[in-house]
Amino acid sequence: MQKEKITRNYLNICKLIHRRRLADAIVLLRQLAGESGKEYITKELEELTATYARLLKHAVSGVDDPERDQVYNYLMRALLEMADSLREMLMLQAGTAHTYQMKKALAGEQLPERSEAMHILESLSFDGELSSLLKDTQVGESGNREERERTLEDIFQVIWLADKYTEEEIRLLKSVCDSELLPWHDKSLVVSALSLSLLRYFDANKFVLLFRFVEKQQPFVRERAMTGLFINSLKYNDRFPLYPVLREKTRELKSLPMMEQHLEAILVQFIKSRETEKVRKKWEEEILPEIMKMRPKIERKLDLDNIFSDNPEEEKNPDWETMFEDAPDLLDKLQELTEMQMDGMDVFISAFSRLKHFPFFRGVSNWFVPFYAENPVVQPMVKDAEKGIDLTPLLEKLEQTYFMCNSDKYSFCLNLSMVPDQQKSMMMNMLNTEMENISELEKDQNMLDGMARSKSIYTQYFQDLYRFHKLHPWRREFDDIFELDMDLHETHFIRDLLAEAKTIRNIAEVLFDKGFYEDALRVFLSILEKDKSNIELFEKIAFCYEKSGDFEKALDYYQRADLIEAGRLWIIKKLAFCCKYLNRWEDALNYYRQAETLDPDNLKLHADIGQCLIHLEKYQDALDCYFKVEVLAPENHKIRRPLAWCSFLLGKFDTARDYLERLLSGEQGTHYDMMNLGHVLWCQGNPEEAFSRYLSSILTWKSIRDFEISFNEDRKHLLAHGIQEMELNLMMDHLKLEVRGRKNRVN
C-alpha cells in the first residue's frame, strides 16, 4: 500500500472514532489489518468488535450498564492505538523515508533473533538499550567527551524512534528526570527526543514523563518539557478526554508556581512563530477575490476603492495602540528585539539558513542540543594553542546570552572554521564588544532570574523548533508543529491551566496583533460573554469578522459599539465601509455624510461619497464631489477616471474625452479607459475612431471575451446617448472579425 493511501486511511479512521462512528472505523481497520498480514492484530480487532457488539446489544435492549461509558472509552482508546500501530507497520513496510530506514537499522541491530510474533512490525521497544548506553559511557560524569556526545546522539535516536516505551525504559527515563548528576543540557536533549517521539507516535506514558520533567522545575529542562506538552496537547487534543491521567496531571500543574505565566509565555511565542504570511495570503488570495466577484463591475472599471491607495479603510483603530498598558510584559525590550525573528519571516533565519549545511546538522539530535561552551563540537573551532587562538571567552558569553537561539549559535561557531586564522582574533575583539553590549541590555531587562529568563528560554526553544521544522532536509517527514490549529477554549490542556481573565485577554490581543483574526475572534467572543460594556471588545470582534470576510456580522458589532458610544469617527467610517461591501449604498452614503461632518477636510471621505453617489446613479452630485477632490488634490491622476465616467453619463462628452486622453497620455491609463474613450468618441459621432480605441482596448486586455462582457454592461448607457442596438451588434462583430483576422495573419 502506498504511503499516501496509508495516511489517508489512518486519518479517516481517527476521524470516525472521534466522531463516535466506531462501526465504520472497524471496517477500515479490518482492511489495514489485512494489509499488514498480522493475524494477531486481526484476532485482537475481532475481540474488540465482539465487545462493542455486546455494548450495543445492551444499549438497544435497555439494560442498565453503569460501566458503559468506561467500556466505550476503552474501545475508543484501543481502536485508536491499533490504528497507530497499523499505520506504523505499513509505513515501515512501504516507506523509504530516512526515519523508517533508521528504525529498520535499529531493529536489525537489536532484534536479530526475534520470533515473528515479536517482530519489529509489532513494536519497537529497544529493551535495555538506554540503560546499557548510559552504563557503558557514564554519561553523568566527565570522561571521553566525544564518545559521550556520540552516546547522547544514540540515546536521542532510541528515545525518538521508540513507538511505545517498555517498563524498563520508563523507569530509566524517570531516573534521568530525577538525577542530580546529569547536566541540564543532557536532560534537555532527552526531553526534546521525548517530545518528538510523542509527536511521531502517541503513547500516554510519554505525556506522563513530560509532566514529570515539568514538575521537577529544573530551569531550561522545565521550559522544554512544557513546550513539548503544549505542542502535543494541540496535536492530540481529541485524545485527552480518553485518558483521565492526562487531565489529572494537567490540573496538578496548576499548583506549581507561575504556571499560568509559563503557559502565557508559550502561547505568545507560538503565536509569534506561526506563519502570519498565510493569514495575509488567505485574505488577499481567497477571501477578498470572492467578495470582489459579488461587487458591481463598475468598481473594477473605475478603480474607485484605490483613488487614495495610501489610506486604506481597513486600518485598525489608532486608540488600540494603548491596549497593552495593562500587560507591559508583552511588549518588553526583549520581545521588541526578537519580534521579527519570532514571526514567520525572521531576520536570523534568513541569515543562518545557509549555515545549516555542516555535518553537525545531519543528525536530528544536534538541532536540539542546547549551546554550552564545553561542547567538544565547537572547541576545535575556537581554540588552537599552537597558533595562539583562544576564543573561549566569546563562547562563554555566547552561552550566557539569550539573544540568539541555540541552533544559530552552533552555526556561528562552526562557521568560524571557514574564517582565516589571522581574522579570528580581530573577530574576537569585535564580537566581544557586541556581546558585552548585549549582556548589558539583558541585565537591564532582568533576564537572569525568574519568569524573564523562562520567557527567553521559550523564545530560544521555539526558534530552534522553527529552524528544525523549516530547514531540516527531512522536514517533510515530520509533522510541522507550526501548522497545528490552536483554540484556547477547545484545547483541554490550555483550558485547564488558564483561569485568569487578564491572561486570556493578553493572548487574545497577541493573536489579534499578529493577524490571526479567526483565532482571536473566538477568544474575544468568550470574553464578551462576561463583559458586554467594553466598547473595544465590540470593535475588535467586528474587525475580526471584517478581516474574515463576514461583513454582515462585522456591521452588526460595529453598530453595537456605536450604541455604547455614538459619534466616533473611526466606527462611523467602519460602518460605511461594511455597508459598501454589502452593496448597501444608501446606508453607506449616510454614514460617510456623518463622517464628513466630523472630518470635513478628509479628501478620501469626499471620494467615498462620490463612489456611493455613482452607485445610486446620482451622477451630477458625484461629479461635484470628484471636482472638489480634483481641485484640492490635482496631483491625484486617479480622480480623472470617475470624473470622466460621470461626465460621459451626463452627456458632457468633451469633458469626458479630455479626462480620458489625459489618463491615457501617462502611465495611469487602463484598457477600461480605452474602452470608455471609445464610448465617448462614438457618442461624439466618430465611430471609426471609436473602433480604433476599442481595438486597442481588446489588444491590451488580451481577451475579447472579457471586453465583450464589459462592453455589454455599458450598452444601456450607449443606447441612452442615441447609439442604436443594431449598431452595437455590428460594432462588436466587426471587432471580433478584425481580432481573429489579425491572429490568422500572425499564424
**275-290: average pLDDT:** 56
pLDDT, position 422 = 60
Which is more confident, 113 or 449?
449
Angle at the Cα of 709 (from 707 to 711), degrees rounded to 5? 65
Residue 371 — pLDDT band, cuts 50, 70, 90? very high
Question: Tens digit of pLDDT for each residue in 679-734?
Answer: 999 999 999 999 999 999 998 887 889 999 999 999 999 999 999 999 999 999 99
Distances from the Cα of 465 to the Cαs of 98, 99, 496, in angstroms? 19, 18, 25
Residue 294 — pLDDT band, cuts 50, 70, 90? low
**297-306: average pLDDT:** 66
pLDDT, position 377 = 79
Distances from the Cα of 284 to the Cαs of 306, 315, 422, 575, 674, in angstroms? 15, 15, 52, 21, 28
pLDDT, position 554 = 97
Are residues 579 and 588 in contact, defined by beta-carbon separation less than 8 angstroms? Answer: yes
Angle at the Cα of 198 (from 197 to 204), degrees rounded to 5? 135
> With 80 as the cut, is the pLDDT of residue 737 above it?
yes
> With 80 as the cut, is the pLDDT of residue 364 above it?
yes
Pick from 21-30, 530-539, 596-605: least confident: 530-539
Q: Which amino acid is at 540?
A: K
Are residues 263 and 497 in contact, defined by beta-carbon separation less than 8 angstroms? Answer: yes
Question: Tens digit of pLDDT for each residue in 464-497?
Answer: 999 999 888 888 888 899 888 878 778 999 989 9
Work out whether the CA dihedral 171, 173, 178, 180 comes out positive or negative: positive
CB atoms within 10 A of CB 714: 19
Closest CA to 346 of 406, 438, 265, 272: 272
Which is more confident, 318 or 356?
356
CA 402 from chain centre, in angstroms, equals 25
Distance CA 739, CA 704 (A): 8
**425-431: average pLDDT:** 60
Residue 116 — pLDDT band, cuts 50, 70, 90? very low
Question: Tens digit of pLDDT for each residue in 343-352?
Answer: 433 546 656 7
Dig out the grid coordinates for 194 from the structure: 521525548
pLDDT above 90 as % of the chain: 52
Pick from 335-344, 372-381, 597-606, 641-650: least confident: 335-344
pLDDT, position 179 = 87
The dihedrals phi and psi of 390, each to the nearest 5 degrees, come to: -150, 100
Which is more confident, 630 or 343?
630
Residue 525 — pLDDT band, cuts 50, 70, 90? very high
In the chain, DSSP finds a helix count (H) and a strand count (E) of: 39, 2
pLDDT, position 151 = 78
Per the rule left: phi > 0, alpha: psi between -120 and 50, beta: everything else, 446 is: left
pLDDT, position 295 = 57
Domain ranges of the chain: 3-95, 650-747
**568-586: average pLDDT:** 96
Dig out the grid coordinates for 587 from the structure: 446606508
Kindly report the three-state secondary structure assignment for every residue of 506-517.
HHHHHHHHCCCH
CB atoms within 10 A of CB 141: 9
Q: Which pairs count as long-range contacts for 344-349, CB under 8 Å and 24+ apart, including other chains?
A: 344/273, 344/274, 344/275, 344/276, 344/277, 344/278, 345/277, 346/463, 346/466, 348/404, 348/405, 348/408, 348/463, 349/463, 349/466, 349/467, 349/470, 349/471
Outline where DSSP puts E strands in 44-190: none
Dig out the grid coordinates for 287 from the structure: 477571501
Pick from 447-451, 601-605, 686-690: least confident: 447-451
Mean pLDDT of the chain: 83
Distances from the Cα of 377 to the Cαs of 124, 361, 745, in angstroms? 31, 11, 70
pLDDT, position 344 = 35
**406-435: average pLDDT:** 70
Question: What fold does the segment set 650-747 form as a domain?
Answer: 1.25.40
**Could you write out the DSSP letters of every residue in 163-224?**
SS--HHHHHHHHHHHH-SSS-HHHHHHHHHHHHHHHHHS--HHHHHHHHHHHHTT-TTHHHH
pLDDT, position 66 = 86
> With 70 as the cut, is the pLDDT of residue 81 above it?
yes
pLDDT, position 313 = 55
Residue 437 — pLDDT band, cuts 50, 70, 90? low
